[in-house]
Structure 1
Amino acid sequence: MTHSIKIQALSIEGFAPFGEVICTTGHDFFHINDAHTERYHALVETEISGDAVAGISIFRNIKTTELPFTISMLERHPNGSQAFIPMQAQAFLVVVAPALDDHSPDLTQLCAFITDGSQGVNYRAGTWHHPLLTLEAPSSFAVIDRIGIGHNCDVFQFPTPIYISN
């Protein structure tokens, strides 16, 4: 039997167990540059373990996700956080699960979120998540994550697919 998850709107509170929402709404700011700019300071702290640095890359999705859909895997990065910031104000889907143990996600607590196009996300180190799922293509994202040596990507294949719907 296929398990089913409903997509919910991404919020700071709802996403808190998995990481941070990168946005201006709901965060404090202060003025800089002669009060021409609002600075939303240190919304996320990049986590990095081992012989590595923080790097900024661009991921460009060229394939769209049609609703509803199924997923059959999650991945995690145990030695560093990973932030995704949309560059074209396009909504995207976020599917996450907490760790059950050192090797697998807790699929009974799987959550699916949709961003509003102005929000990015930062997955904490070790957070199980699905790779990018975009509703439009192409979609480009600035990605801030760990660049370094050593293993930093675990993949978990589900015994049966999970259905995601709106």
Structure 2
Amino acid sequence: MKKLSLQPLTQATFAPFGDVVACDRVSPFAINGGTTSRFHDLAELQASGSQAKLIVSIFRGQAFQLPLAIDMLEHHPYGSQLFMPLSQRPYVVVVAKPGELDEDSICAFWAQPDQGVNYHSGVWHHPLISLQQTSDFLVIDRSGEEANCVEQQLSESIQLQLA
């Protein structure tokens, strides 16, 4: 079994796959008479296809323990998919670049509780990997007539582990 170590999630390391959604990426500006700080335009949201629209959901992910066997990845050909943690717990992001799945390019990130991720359209990723205990995530993704989830089994399991 191949092994995959987690690396810190930063905008620079995650750029080939999408956006890190975090307040430290931009300078806020005051709104609502100065009572609120707005951290504006934190992700490039994408939606294409027939009757396409962006939708907001909450996903409740069951907790996993590391090490964890990764056997499949998925991607969304018609839109981005943004995950923002609502629980104050770290989680794991496993991704590969869009296009034909290159299993040698799979990488994994340790995401902090104040970091969200926005997978760009076509980016391969593992379904939600919550840690410690069941966790909620605000999710913004695409709804439309076309099926927008393609799953692919890996030729060999990858053991996800701490470095």
Determine the structure 2 residue equivalent to 1:65. Answer: 64
Determine the structure 1 residue equivalent to 2:11. Answer: 12
1:155 CA displacement: 0.8
| AA of the residue aligned to 1:42 | D
1:39 CA displacement: 1.1
1:145 aligns with 2:145: no
Determine the structure 2 residue equivalent to 1:52. Answer: 52
Q: Decide whether the 8 Å contact of 2:25 with 2:42 is kept in 1.
A: no
CA distance in 2, matches of 1:148, 1:26: 31
Determine the structure 1 residue equivalent to 2:119. Answer: 123
SS at match of 1:88: coil
1:95 CA displacement: 0.1
CA deviation vs aligned residue, 1:25-51 (integer Å, no higher than 9, x gap): 232221222222221111113100012
SS at match of 2:34: coil
SS at match of 2:78: coil
Determine the structure 2 residue equivalent to 1:21. Answer: 20
The runs of 5 or more residues in structure 1 that have no matched partner are none
CA distance in 1, matches of 2:53, 2:141: 8
Percent identity, aligned pairs only, is: 42
CA deviation vs aligned residue, 1:4-26 (integer Å, no higher than 9, x gap): 11101111111111000111123
Please provide the CA RMSD for this pair.
1.2
Output aligned runs, 1:21-100, within 5 Å. Answer: 21-50=20-49, 51-61=51-61, 63-99=62-98
CA distance in 2, matches of 1:107, 1:138: 28
| AA of the residue aligned to 1:55 | I
CA distance in 1, matches of 2:11, 2:27: 13
TM-score relative to the length of structure 1: 0.92
Q: Decide whether the 8 Å contact of 2:68 with 2:159 is kept in 1.
A: yes
Q: How many residues align?
A: 161
CA distance in 2, matches of 1:140, 1:146: 19
CA distance in 1, matches of 2:26, 2:109: 19
CA deviation vs aligned residue, 1:66-89 (integer Å, no higher than 9, x gap): 111110100000000000011112
